[in-house]
Each structure stands twice: as structure tokens, then as C-alpha cells.
A and B are shown apart, each in its own frame.
Chain A
Amino acid sequence: MASSGSDEPPATETETEIPGAECSIYEEVIWLDKTEQNQRLAVEELIKTEASYVHTIQLCVSDIRAHLQQKQLPDLDLEGLFSNIDDVLHISRRFLKRLEATVSHTEQLNQISALFQEFKEKMESVYKVYCASYEQALLLVESYRKDPRLQQEILDTLNTMVPHTGASDLSFFLVMPVQRVTKYALLLQKILENTSPSDGAYPALQSATNAMLEVSANINEYKRRKEVAFKYNKAEQLTLRERLARLNTHSIAKKTTRLSRLFMHEAGIVPKTQDKEYDDLEEKFQCLASGVTMLKENMGSYLNNLAVFLISKPHECELEIEEGAVQQYRCLAGNLHLTIFPEFRRRLNRVVYQPLCSLTDALKGPQQLIKKRLDKLLDYEEIQERKSETGSVTYDEEAAMNTYLAINALLMSELPRFNQVALQLLGQILNSLVALQRELAKKVLEETTRELAQLPHSHLPLPTFWKMVEDTLRQSGTQLHAFCQKFETVMPSPLVQSLSPAEERRVLSLVSKHSPDKLYQVISNISGSKDLDLTLQRGQIVALLHGMDTKGNTNRWLVDAGGPRGYVPAGKLQPYHLDQSQKPRMQTLAPDDRAERRRHSYTFPEAPRPPVPIVTPASQVVAGFSFAARSPQEVSLQAGQPVAVLEPHDKKGSKDWSLVEVNGQRGYVPSSYLVMVPPWEPLGWSLPAWSPPTQQT
């Protein structure tokens, strides 16, 4: 039994003050004895109740909860029910042990006070968590009560493990820590009542009591803030339907009031409640939020670009070059793509992107609360106004005002910490980014330096190297051009009779002046005897000007030899066919419009060429049917014979008849008996393969 050893015996004081007042002394003594006794009882109560409390909690944990755990009921949320009751148990047991140790101590009261001071912080942090989740636990109990199966299980457990308590409900046990933590203050108060203020232990007791009162108040405040935060820090995911269902006159009125108040703020009609401290906090938060969001977005697109980079793999092309720089490059790029960059991407994700995402998520709660605070502030101001007018407010209005105050207090107390920690995290993330970039560079550099060492020109300083590359490429370019030329050139086909360039030019000029079907080639040398006769070499090309001379002799033709004009015997001429592919010697291939489309490329020759006159294709003309000449002007045809069309019309201009030469004879045949056959592009000059018998008609 503790005795208040620090108490001064009061008897002596009263004796000296009131001598002879023996009844009052006794009364004093009795009073003193009574308080002393009460004090002792109070202290006993403290300790005893603590012991029984710890015992019950122990039961709760080791018996009831364990039993329920064993049952493995999936619908039973044990964590939601029991919260951190293990911590509660742990701290209470330690507390009890220390309490019990003070029992036979001389300075018990002081010790107890000191003990409370020592434990108050830990108690606050443990109990506030428990109390904050107690409401939820009660809701759970309520819901389980409605489920007959679960209820049965719970009852069964209770009856099995703790029949002596006669409890029919879990709440009987769950409420105990909530009650206990507030009881400490009451118990201390009781001891304090029964201690005289002049007692040495009094000040300590008083501060201990105050401390525990503060603990209770803090726990309550924490609980309230947690409730407010929980209520408002999530954006509600309501469907349109639900939102509409929520609309009623009350909510509409509320929102209208808020909106009008907001207008009045912005218009300056009504002063805004200025709270510089809050505004600064909020502004900092918003900057942080936008910075984090932006960084996350940018990191995301950086990672996307990295992914795209890894998709294209130029090093996988197969040029069939076994060794040399190509293989080095393939090796290097292969490593980069397979190992180094994927690792870089993984690490970026882990220490930069993922934390960014988590940080972005963490922003949502405060953002919601800030929004809600503004709403509630508008309500608050409204109600304040009304209160100053009418003098009183309804219960709901009072609650609304309190809500605003709670949110405001919550934000004011937690935003600074949030801002600070978030900024630190942001800094850490940026550090990681920088460090990772450096390590990427280091790894790539190792790879490239290794490959570089195997290259022939690695020792060259950079400008020299680039110059060398440039020069080499220029040379190669020229070489390529040479290849191109080679492929574009067709070897000039060996000709039966090839013409000199001068001759070709003359031929072209003749063609441009006359039509191609007026060309003739000299078969044998002509030596002109009369005036106006030409002397021509075999093989020369002339153009027919007139099929007879001035005297009407059809065997003497007027021709244009590409400069001189004169007469030559017709028998020494044979028709000369130009082909559409007649071009200067270096022939560039024209695109073939009959080409089947191959999957490979073709070019249209782009190099400027000497302008070539457009030559109408001189087609091979063949007799389609046999024809028997019926007059001296006509000539006989055999089907299939090639003929030379001299004039595609008769003397009267009718197109029904053509003047042809066939078998050395000339005459008219029906044009319809003639067949045009397109040439099949033999190169070079095509000549009629047969030479007509040199007959003169």
C-alpha cells in the first residue's frame, strides 16, 4: 500500500493554529485520512483496471481473433475489425508492467506521473490509429450481424472462447481501447482530486493529467480530420445517372449559393476571405502538381521514343559482307539493341517513371481536398453572414461550418509537409535520371571503343578521319556513276553496214525535211554523166524528191543527197527503212511501254540527249492477199510478200490504191490488200533482206 511519503504531517500545522480545536483536528485527520484513502483507492483502481484491461485485450487477440482466423472465413475482414490491436496490446502490457513496478515505491505518485509523460506520445500514436478506424470496425460488425451465417460463426467463437463474459457481440471488446485511452485522464483526475495542492507530487500529477487530456483531444482531432479527409479526398466516380439522382432542391440551392458567392468574390462585390498563409501553401502545391504531371508526361514520351528507336534495326540487314566495318557495326548495334538499351529502359522505369506515377497518384487526394475546401469556404461565408444577421444558425449549418474549419485545419497542417516531401522526391527522381544517363553513356562507350579499336582508321584524329571518309565517298560516287553509265549503254550492235556519224547526221536532216518513206539507199556506185546528175557512193542515203525527170522519164529520179540535189538512176536505189530506235551511236534505252511490271526499278533516262527527231515508225508492209495485175499500171502480189510502199495513194489522190514496188516491179495495188506489220525492234538499221533484181522497167 503506497504511502504519500512526501506529505508533511498536517497535524502539527493545525495544532499550532487552532489549539484546543480537537474536533477539527480529528475532522482534519479524518478528512485527511479519507482523501489519503481515496487517493490510495484511486491509484489501486488505476492499476487494477489496467491489469484487467490488458487481460481482456489479450483474450481478444490470442483467443477470439485467433479462433476466427482459424475458421478462415473469407467474408470476415479481421484487419478492418481489429485494426492495430496488437500494438495496443503491446504498449499496454509494457505500461502495466511499469505501473506494477511502482507499487511499493516511496515516490509512487511521481513515478506514475513520470510514467504517463514517458508513454504519452507512443500511446497517442498507437491509439489514434485504432480510434480512427473504430467507426469502420463498428460498421463491419453491424454488417456481419445482418449476415446470419457470419453472425453464427462469431457467436460460436465468443461462446467457445469467452463464455464467462457473456458477450454476444464483438463490439463489446472492440470498444475497450477507445474507452481506456480516455479513462486515463479521468483516473488521473480522480487521484488529483484526492491530493492536496501542497503535496509535492501535485504539480507532476497535474501535468500528467493535462498531458493525458491533451492526448485524448489530439486523438479526437486526428479522428475528425481522418474522417473529413476520407470523405473528401477521393473524387467521386459517379455516373451521370447518379449525379442526376443526387440533384434535389437542397443540393441545387446549395450549389447555386456557392456559385453566386464565387461570382461575388471574383467581381469584388464581397471580400474574399484572405488567408495568405493558406494561399501560399496552395500555390506551392499547385506548382508542384503541375511540375510533376508535366514531368511524368515528358518521361512517358521519352520512353515511347526509346521504344520506337529499339524497333528499327538497321544492323539486321544482310549485305553478305563477311568481315570488316560492317560486322563491327552489326556487333555493336546488336549489343546496344539487345542488352544495353533495354536495361537502360528497365532502370528508367524502376527509379524514375514508376515513382513519378506514384507521386502523381498521391497528388489526387490533396487536389480534391483543396477543391472541397473552396466549396465549403463559400458555404461558411454564407452562413457567417446569416449568423451575423440573425444571430443563430441551425444544427446543419453549424456542422457545415465545422466541416470547412476541419478541412482548412487539415490542409494547413499537412500541406507544408506534403510540399516538402514531394519536392524532395522530385529531386531524387531527377538525380536518378541524371545518374542513369551517365551510366548509359559509359556502357555504350565501352562497347563502341572496343569495336572502334578493331577498325583500321581508329587512330586518326577526327577531322582527318572525316576528310578521308568524304574523299573516299566522292571517289566511290564516281565509280558508281561509271557503273551506271555502263549499264545504260548498249553495246553498239554490229551493223551490216554502219554509217559514219557524218552520214547519220545527214540522214537525220533528210528525214526532218522529207518523210521517212522517201529514203533510199544507193546500191551501187553512181557516176553522174549528164549535168544535174549526182555522183554517189554505195551505201549513201538520199531522199526522193520527184519520181521522174523533166522529160517524164520515171527511171531517172530527182533526189536530195543531204546537200547537193540531182538525178540518179532509179534502178540503183532501193528503199531505205528507218526504225524507231534509230538514234545516235551511244544509245540510251527508252522505257518500254509494253513492259511487264517487274518489282525492280527502272529509270527514264534523265541525261540530256541530242534532240532526236520524232521518227514515225516505218512499219514493214506485207501483201495480205494475192493480187493479179489487170493493167500495166498495176503489179501482181503474192500473199506474204514484203512490199515497199512508194506512195500510199494513186495519182488522183485516192487512198484505195497504193504505189508499191515488189519484185523489182512497180505498180499500183489495192491498199486494202496490204498489211502493216510493226517492227519488233531490231537494233541498228534494218534493211530489206533481199535485194531486188536490177531490172529496169
Chain B
Amino acid sequence: MGGFVHEVQLAPSRVAACVPRIPFKLGQPKKQIVPKTVERDFEREYGKLQQLEDQTKKLQKDMKKSTDADVAMSKSAVKISSDLLSNPLCEQDPKFLEMVMALDTAMKRMDSFNQEKVNQIQKTVIEPLKKFSSVFPSLNMAVKKREQTLQDYKRLQSKVEKYEEKEKTGPVLAKLHQAREELRPVKEDFEAKNKQLLEEMPKFYSSRIDYFKPSFESLIRAQVVYYTEMHKIFGDLTEQIAEPGLTDEQREKENEAKLSELRALSIVADD
């Protein structure tokens, strides 16, 4: 009178309260259902995709941070010139006013170009990245389902094997038949899933190359556009108000000269 009850693996609350559970040991099937090479291939392909998922996430995050910092820089550059413009010094000194106004115009123009650049990057880099990343959840779910099916497959397989080992009595044969019937759809299901994933995963992985090409091209192009403008705008400005040819040492010397003049005055405290 060997009774058996399917071991309730994951939801023990499902068992009717008044019935004691009769434990049943589930072993692993003796036969290796999935050949090692197939499993290895699967792990390898999936591993590559997991890596890719991490990296695309990281790239997305870093790209966002980078563009945010870029915008912040541009805004603070505008603040430099607009604060100077609102200082009364500009009213008192026309030459100073001229310089500050030119600087302010330049900074504001640069800021609007920067905004354009950032918008392009958003459209051609960050959005596509997001789209690419959105495939991964579906992939991971599919892999997980395959895994679950595999577990079921293994379990049913071991059950069949168990019956196969037993003495061939009537009830045993019945149960064996039943177990085999249960096993068949699950096995086919697993094999279908496995095949599908093994086919699609590499395709997806290699699609990244072509997918990202336009994004990176546009990233570079956008920079070229921006810096071309910047070079022109500040080139004109330098001709207008600055002394373009000086080296850093010369500038430093000039500054030091003025500072020394200031420090020579008695009203300036020397520490």
C-alpha cells in the first residue's frame, strides 16, 4: 500500500490541513537529459548577453551624467558673463561694457548650441540605448521559463526512471504509463524553448554592432558641429577684445605685474 503524494515543493499551504504529508524524495534523473555541450553553449551565449545588458545600462547612465554635467558647465559659463553684465561697473566704463556685452553674447550663443547638441544626443544615443535595453527583460523571462521547464523536465524524467526500475506489476505499469504521458509534453516544450533561444540569442547579440553604429557616429558628428561653432564664436571674440597671441607665461607675468602694483599700495594688506 505504498501511497505517494507529489511532494508539494513550493506551496505547502496548498495541502489540506488534516492530511499529513507523506514525504517523497525526488531525485535527479539518471540520464543526462541535456547534453553538456548544449548547456555550455547556452550558458556562453546567455552570459554574453548578460554582460551586454550590464554594459548598456552603464553606458546609458554614464551618458546621462555626462550630458547633465555638460549642460551645467554651459549654464555656469553663461552665469559668468550675465552677472558681470548686471554689475554697475558696466555703466561707468564703456570699454568694459563693450567687452562684457560681447562675452555675454558669445556665452549665450554657445549655450543654445550646447542645448541643441544635448538634444541630438538624447535623440540619437540615449533613446536608442533605452530601446535596446528594453529587450532584455523579455529575454531574461524567456530564459527563466526555459529553466523552469527544464526543472520540470528533470523531475518528470526521474519519476519515469523510478517507475522503470520498479517491479513491473499492473499498478506500476499504469503509473509508468501515466508518468510517461506527463513527461512527453514537457520534454517537447523544453526542447522547443531551448532551440528557439539558442537560435535567437546570438542573433540578438550580433545585432548590437549595426544597432549602435549610427548612435556613435552621430555622437561624434554632434561634437564636431558644436566645437566648430565654439571655435568660430570665440575666435571672433578674441580678435575683438582679447590679445590672441600671448602665451600662458606672458599672461601670468602680466597678472603678477598688476598684482604687485596693487600689493605695493599701503591700503592693501600683505599677509
Contact = CB atoms under 8 A, between A and B. Distances in A.
B4 A369 contact: no
Given A364-B269, A638-B1, A677-B14, 14 more contacts: A233-B269, A287-B92, A306-B73, A309-B69, A312-B66, A325-B217, A410-B266, A430-B242, A432-B251, A452-B224, A473-B128, A480-B207, A601-B136, A674-B16
Interface in A678-692: 678, 680-684, 686-687, 689-690
Contacts of B254: 428
Interface in A306-336: 306, 308-309, 311-314, 316-321, 324-326, 328-329, 332
A341 B262 CA distance: 32
A493 B137 contact: no
From DSSP, what is the main secondary structure of chain A's interface residues? helix
B103 A434 contact: yes
Main DSSP-derived SS at the B contact region? helix
B69 A675 contact: no
Interface of B: 1-6, 8-11, 14-16, 18-19, 22, 48, 50-53, 55-56, 58-59, 62-63, 65-66, 69-70, 72-73, 76-77, 79-80, 83-84, 87-89, 92-93, 96, 99-100, 103, 106, 120, 123-124, 127-128, 131-132, 134-142, 144-145, 148-149, 152, 155, 171, 174, 177-182, 184-186, 188-189, 192-193, 196, 200, 203-204, 207-221, 223-225, 227-228, 230-231, 234-235, 237-238, 241-244, 246, 248, 251-252, 254-255, 258-259, 261-263, 265-269, 271
B163 to A, nearest CB: 12
Contacts of A291: 84, 87, 89
Nearest to A642: B178
A365 interface: yes
A308 B258 contact: no
B217 A455 contact: yes
A421 interface: yes
B261 to A, nearest CB: 5
B267 A415 contact: yes
B223 A683 contact: no
A446 to B, nearest CB: 9
Given A366-B268, A418-B267, A682 B234 contact: no
Contacts of A295: 80, 83-84
A442 B145 contact: no
A237 B6 CA distance: 84
A265 interface: no
A680 B207 contact: no
Contacts of A437: 230, 234
A225 B58 CA distance: 64
Given A313-B62, A640-B3, A684-B189, A476 B262 contact: no
Nearest to A299: B80
A358 interface: yes
Contacts, number: 399
A343 to B, nearest CB: 10
Given A326-B212, A434-B237, A676-B16, A366 B267 contact: yes
Given A421-B261, A624-B19, A488 B58 contact: no
Contact of B96 (A368, A427, A687): A427
A207 interface: no
Contact of B221 (A324, A433, A465, A483): A465
A491 B196 contact: yes
B76 to A, nearest CB: 4
Given A432-B251, A600-B53, A302 B217 contact: no
A314 B58 CA distance: 8
Given A233-B269, A441-B234, A589-B141, A328 B53 contact: no
Interface in A427-473: 427-435, 437-438, 440-442, 444-445, 448-449, 451-452, 455-458, 462, 465-466, 468-470, 472-473
A496 interface: yes
A284 B14 CA distance: 86
Ranked 4 nearest A-B pairs via Cβ = A639-B3, A365-B269, A689-B181, A689-B178
B55, B100, B135, B238: residue with the most chain A Cβ atoms closer than 10 Å? B135
A434 B243 CA distance: 10
Nearest to A324: B213
A71 to B, nearest CB: 28
7 contacts: A291-B84, A317-B55, A422-B262, A425-B259, A430-B100, A483-B203, A624-B3
Quick one: which of B56, B96, B265 has the most chain A CB within 10 A? B265
A298 B100 CA distance: 15
Interface string A206-233: 0000000000000000000110011001
B225 A462 contact: yes
Given A423-B89, A678-B11, A493 B66 contact: no
A180 interface: no
A362 interface: yes
Interface in A394-438: 410-411, 414-415, 417-418, 421-435, 437-438
Nearest to B136: A601
A324 B209 contact: yes
Interface stretch (A149-157, A562-570, A591-599): A591-599
Contact of B218 (A316, A444, A469, A591): A469
A172 interface: no
Q: How large is the interface on A (under 10, 10 to 19, 20 to 34, 35 or more residues)?
A: 35 or more
A600 B46 CA distance: 12
A435 B188 CA distance: 72
A317 B54 CA distance: 9
Contacts of A595: 144
Contacts of A488: 138, 141-142
Contacts of B142: 487-488, 490, 589
Interface core residue of A313, A321, A362, A424 (most chain B CB under 10 Å): A362
B55 to A, nearest CB: 5
B190 to A, nearest CB: 9
A1 interface: no
B4 A435 contact: no
Contact of B248 (A328, A347, A440, A465): A347
Nearest to B6: A677
Contacts of A415: 267
Contacts of B9: 680
B16 A444 contact: no
B267 A421 contact: no
B70 to A, nearest CB: 6
Nearest to A323: B209
A417 B18 CA distance: 102
Contacts of B262: 359, 362, 418, 421-422, 425
Contacts of B99: 427, 430
A537 interface: no
B231 A438 contact: yes
A484 interface: yes
Interface in A249-304: 283-284, 287-288, 290-291, 294-295, 298-299, 301-302
A676 B185 contact: no
A362 B263 contact: yes
A313 B65 CA distance: 9
A626 interface: yes
B255 A355 contact: yes
